[in-house]
Structure 1
Amino acid sequence: MKITTMLTSADFLTRPYTPDMTLAGIRYACQSLPYTYNRMGGNRVKRLRRIVAGKGVELAFKRYLNKKHIPHDILGETPFTDPDQYDIAIGGRRCDIKSFLLTGKKRISKVRHHPEKLLSALALVPVDQIERKQHSDDDIFIFAFFNALLTSSQDKLKKAIAANQPIYLIHALPKAWANPRQWQPLGKLALKSNHASDIKIEIGGQDAQRRFQSEQIILPPKTRRTARREFCTLSYMHSFSLPNGEIGLHSPALKDTVLAAPSDWGNIWVYGMEVTFTGFITRREFRQIAERIPKGSRVFQYSRTRTENFGMPVRGLHPLKDLFTRAREWAAAKA
């Protein structure tokens, strides 16, 4: 594998991660949920966590650019229809931030104490994203590693609740609800709770004009409540606390009832620590250097990859300080 430059860990940019970044990611993830069904290939809560993390990392990068007055453009809000799109440009070149979650405590500790370990990790880009013809070879890939903890089991979730950690519980609804074949109202939605006391539930989806909307409803025990708003799609239920009984949701139009047991709720809160932005490379250079990494491969950041990727060692990337220098030069040339 050809290496064009030699990056060192001294070139890495490590930024703190704050809870409001997770909140921004959650808002985005909930609204993008109807458009992610064809790409999930498995657990929807895991997919949502990845979106939350990715958007949080993007926000950390934007804040750094603003803090250091590095010239850049915002190309408009990232469309909810395609969470892989990006909205940052430097020197007129679109920046696509590829972030990788590191969640094991031992691995996080190792990377914190020995950041040079990341140099041998692979910078990965899914094959389908490389082969998109609408992207320019001048586009820029930026690769980041995100240290964070997740509640990937009910036991970890209960420990987080006991420690008064923030949580965001989601029950993703079936495709027939979130992305139906026919666009029509779901009817007067009815909810009922078997929780021992009053519980607040939020439902989120789209109205007749395909705009995102949500509604919060207080459910007393064993009492039927109906939503005030009319929904044409419904992609999730969000509970403000962990239910100890089933939560039911019925659509007369679909003639379907969803029952969410206590174990069916997933916490998509990402407990971020810091983000390490390692380096950058143009799409053209990446296409020339990277090699195909088969689906199911074991790499530094994953026990097995979920899709086929192109990859190259992180040490082959360019230092971000060079990109920031170029950004100022490009901005000066335009002035």
Structure 2
Amino acid sequence: MITATDFITIPYTSDLTQAGIAYACRSLPYTYDRMGGSHFNRLRRIVVGVAVELAFRRRLAEEKVPHDNLGSTPFTDPDRYDIAIGGRRCDIKSFMLTRRSLIRHVSREPQALLGADALVPSDQIVSDHLNDEDLYIFAFITALTTPNQRSLDRALKADQPIYLIHPLPKEWAHPSRWIPLGTLALKCDTSHAVTLELGGQNESRAFMAEEIVLEPRKRAAAESDFYALGYLHTSNPPDGIVGVHSPSVGETHLVEPIQWGNIWIYGMQIIFTGYMTRGEFRQRGNRLPAGSRVFKYSSTRTENRSLPIAELHPLSDLFTQAKKWAKRGA
């Protein structure tokens, strides 16, 4: 059992968002989306997951908790468990709170999280990606996002950072035949020049990106030899259509102004609540059907196993145990 005094609260910094975006852009075509929803929601969830993992790494280093960084998982691998404590892999479950009223409530009364649900998708409980000795760590992040044009306009007026992205369809981002896309031709029908970043993969499937400036209604060609094109990115909202043509795909993909999404996360705090081994969670967790109402979601999209946050174990105990494990192994 834990109380709110066991929580570890970390202020959110913008470099966490930057790290999350860098990974999200690379992994987009390969990430399994059990939650459903738009590409942009999916990308925001990836950004949050990476940001929280990085914050946890930093906390471990600050408290001198022995741990292993297992190396960066290739972005083509959808399962990322890159931290181990005492040889036990850590799967950090992150839940983003974006409703302003809920953020204010948790800020004033963090103990409210004790009644929230620690959720693990049922398909993960029975998968072989983790052993029963491995660890689930549960965290909440308070943050604002821009899920619609109105909220994006507010962010722009407030001179907040944005990261506009347009994911390409599967035939561009994850083609069935691994052949060059050919010389990519781009054009914009806008009132101003558009600076674009093209992100994708080369012949060896390594990530590659190219920046190109499009003058209004003038065709430009990319110089890089892309084998897959995952996304287009710009920092300023185009006020007209942007198009990209691939000889290999045999079509021109057109992007309307409303088809860009901002995946910048305006984080405030990360609250690490507690942990539990997968084996214990599997034994004690209750089945929670899809469509259930929980603290964070009005309706869950998938079936989960659930326990109240209050029934987790304190992270301070894990950190102390990690130091004992390290001494035994010395």
What TM-score range do you get, normalising by the shorter chain?
Answer: over 0.9
Give how far 1:316 is off: 0.5
The DSSP-based 3-state class of the residue aligned with 2:74 is: coil
Give how far 1:63 is off: 0.6
Alignment match of 2:311 (pick from 306, 309, 316): 316
Partner of 1:235: 230
Give how far 1:331 is off: 0.7
Confirm whether residue 61 of structure 1 aligns to residue 56 of structure 2. Answer: yes
Partner of 1:200: 195
Matches of 1:94 and 1:150, distance apart in 2: 30
Letter in 2 for 1:273: M
Letter in 2 for 1:187: G
Give how far 1:37 is off: 5.8
Give how far 1:83 is off: 3.7
Alignment match of 1:10 (pick from 2, 5, 14): 5
Give how far 1:41 is off: 3.0
Taking a change above 3 Å as real, the CA distance of residues 166 and 275 of structure 1, as seen in their structure-2 partners, is same
Alignment match of 1:153 (pick from 148, 156, 162): 148
Give how far 1:256 is off: 1.3
Partner of 1:333: 328
Percent identity, please. 56
Confirm whether residue 252 of structure 1 aligns to residue 247 of structure 2. Answer: yes
The DSSP-based 3-state class of the residue aligned with 2:52 is: helix
Taking a change above 3 Å as real, the CA distance of residues 284 and 148 of structure 1, as seen in their structure-2 partners, is same
Give TM-score scaled by structure 1 length: 0.96
The DSSP-based 3-state class of the residue aligned with 2:29 is: helix
Give how far 1:112 is off: 0.7
Confirm whether residue 100 of structure 1 aligns to residue 95 of structure 2. Answer: yes
Taking a change above 3 Å as real, the CA distance of residues 51 and 283 of structure 1, as seen in their structure-2 partners, is same
Unaligned runs of 5+ in 2: none
Letter in 2 for 1:166: P
Equivalent residues in 2 for 1:292-311, closer than 5 Å: 292-311=287-306
Give how far 1:19 is off: 0.3
Taking a change above 3 Å as real, the CA distance of residues 233 and 43 of structure 1, as seen in their structure-2 partners, is same
Letter in 1 for 2:162: I
Confirm whether residue 135 of structure 1 aligns to residue 130 of structure 2. Answer: yes
Alignment match of 1:47 (pick from 24, 42, 49): 42
Partner of 1:77: 72
Matches of 1:319 and 1:40, distance apart in 2: 28
Give how far 1:84 is off: 3.5
Give TM-score scaled by structure 2 length: 0.98
Taking a change above 3 Å as real, the CA distance of residues 292 and 54 of structure 1, as seen in their structure-2 partners, is same
Partner of 2:169: 174
Confirm whether residue 90 of structure 1 aligns to residue 80 of structure 2. Answer: no
Unaligned runs of 5+ in 1: 1-5
Give how far 1:82 is off: 3.3
Q: Is the 8 A contact 2:34 2:302 kept in 1?
A: no
Matches of 1:78 and 1:54, distance apart in 2: 14
Partner of 1:165: 160
Confirm whether residue 280 of structure 1 aligns to residue 278 of structure 2. Answer: no
Partner of 2:113: 118
Matches of 2:240 and 2:2, distance apart in 1: 53
Partner of 1:268: 263
Letter in 1 for 2:236: S
Q: Is the 8 A contact 1:51 1:83 kept in 2?
A: no
Letter in 2 for 1:256: E
Give how far 1:42 is off: 3.0
Matches of 2:328 and 2:160, distance apart in 1: 48
Letter in 2 for 1:234: L
Please give the root-mean-square deviation of Cα atoms over the aligned residues, in Å: 1.1
Q: Is the 8 A contact 1:87 1:95 kept in 2?
A: yes
Q: Is the 8 A contact 1:37 1:175 kept in 2?
A: no
Letter in 2 for 1:304: S
Partner of 1:29: 24
Give how far 1:134 is off: 4.0
Runs of 4+ in 1 over 6 A off after TM superposition: none
Partner of 1:3: none
Count how many residue pairs are aligned between Structure 1 and Structure 2.
330
Q: Is the 8 A contact 1:140 1:281 kept in 2?
A: yes
Taking a change above 3 Å as real, the CA distance of residues 273 and 329 of structure 1, as seen in their structure-2 partners, is same
Alignment match of 1:221 (pick from 216, 219, 222): 216
Letter in 1 for 2:4: S
Matches of 1:37 and 1:90, distance apart in 2: 26
The DSSP-based 3-state class of the residue aligned with 1:325 is: helix
Matches of 2:76 and 2:177, distance apart in 1: 18
